[in-house]
Amino acid sequence: MPTETVLGVFAHVDTTVRALEELRAHGYHDLTVYTPLPVHEIEELLERDRPVSRVRLFTLIGGLTGIASAFLLTIWSSLVWGLVTGGKYLQLEPGGIAGSSLPPFFIIAFELMVLFGGLATVIGMVVLGRLPRFRPSSTFDPRFTNDRFGVAVHCAPERGASVRELLRAAGAEEVNVR
């Protein structure tokens, strides 16, 4: 199905928000909004249609992996060759595992939880945000990292005219078709 992309460029936050509200009211949900900074009002509007970012799942899995690998490393290496430190030990003996000196390993577990959790978070951000992008997307304009806000609407070609009219009425500085 052919689609048309209409881009509205806005100079103000309130006009951008108005345009987004209008678009929602008219049933346009396939939008891309460009902002030079995260804007609370715009995020709130868009979050209504979208689930919470899944980055937190990456963080959780990374953190748990960190904890698990730290305990695995420390406990397993103690069992391979038991070291008695200040009377504290955890080692393999003929009857099974002897000693219960685990508390120091929590420090390693904490550090690896933060390390793996943090790295997984960034990986999540990169993967979910579709980075890196090697070519700018067709609707991007360099002004969007400076002081302009952009609303790109992807719609059926026959509705293009009404979208353009809607964006202009909401207060867009310029409206064009990409």
Partner 1 sequence: MSDSRTTTPTFADVNRDVLRTLNPPGNLYFAWMCVVALGLAGFFFAWAGQVWWGMGMAGKRVPQMWAMYITTFVFWIGIGHAGTLISAILYLFRARWRTSIYRAAEAMTIFAVMTAGLFPLIHAGRMWFAYFLLPYPNQRSLWPNFRSPLVWDVFAISTYLSISTVFFIVGLVPDIAALRDASTGWRRRIFAMLALGWEGSDSQWRHYRRAYGLLASLATPLVLSVHSVVSWDFAMALVPGWHSTLFAPFFVDGAIFSGFAMVLVLVLPMRHFFGLHAYIQEKHLDAMGKLILVTGLVLTYFYLCEIFTSLYSGEHIEKASLFWKVTQTYAWALWTMYFCNCIAPLVLFWRKARTSPVALYVVSILVLIGMWFERFNIIVPSLGHDFYPYTWGIYYPSPTDTAIVLGSFAFFLLLFLGFIKLMPSLSIVEVKETIPPPMRDGSHAH
Note the helical H segments in 81-130: 103-128
Q: Pick the binder of partner 1 from 8, 19, 23, 63 (CB under 8 A).
A: 63
| 61 forms part of the interface with partner 1 (CB under 8 A) | no
Q: Give the contacts of 156 (CB within 8 A, at least 6 positions apart).
A: 1, 2, 3, 4
- Read off φ and ψ for residue 113, nearest 5 degrees: -60, -45
Considering only residues 148 to 167 of the shown chain, the ones binding partner 1 according to CB under 8 A are none
Name residue, tokens 């030079």.
36
- Per DSSP, what are the bridge partners of residue 63? none
Could you tell me the smallest distance in angstroms from the CB atom of residue 119 to partner 1? 7
Piece in contact with partner 1 (CB under 8 A), picked from 7-15, 21-29, 92-100, 153-161:
7-15
Closest CA relative to residue 142, chosen from 6, 16, 9, 13 = 9
Q: Pick the binder of partner 1 from 6, 19, 34, 172 (CB under 8 A).
A: 34
In whole angstroms, what is the distance from residue 87 CA to residue 85 CA? 5
Q: Pick the binder of partner 1 from 72, 97, 98, 122 (CB under 8 A).
A: 122
Of 115 and 160, nearer to partner 1 (C-beta) is 115
Q: Pick the binder of partner 1 from 68, 92, 171, 176 (CB under 8 A).
A: 171
| 99 forms part of the interface with partner 1 (CB under 8 A) | no
Of 110 and 156, nearer to partner 1 (C-beta) is 110
Of 4 and 125, nearer to partner 1 (C-beta) is 125
| 105 forms part of the interface with partner 1 (CB under 8 A) | yes
Three-state DSSP class for residue 62: helix
Pair of tokens at residue 50:
């979208």
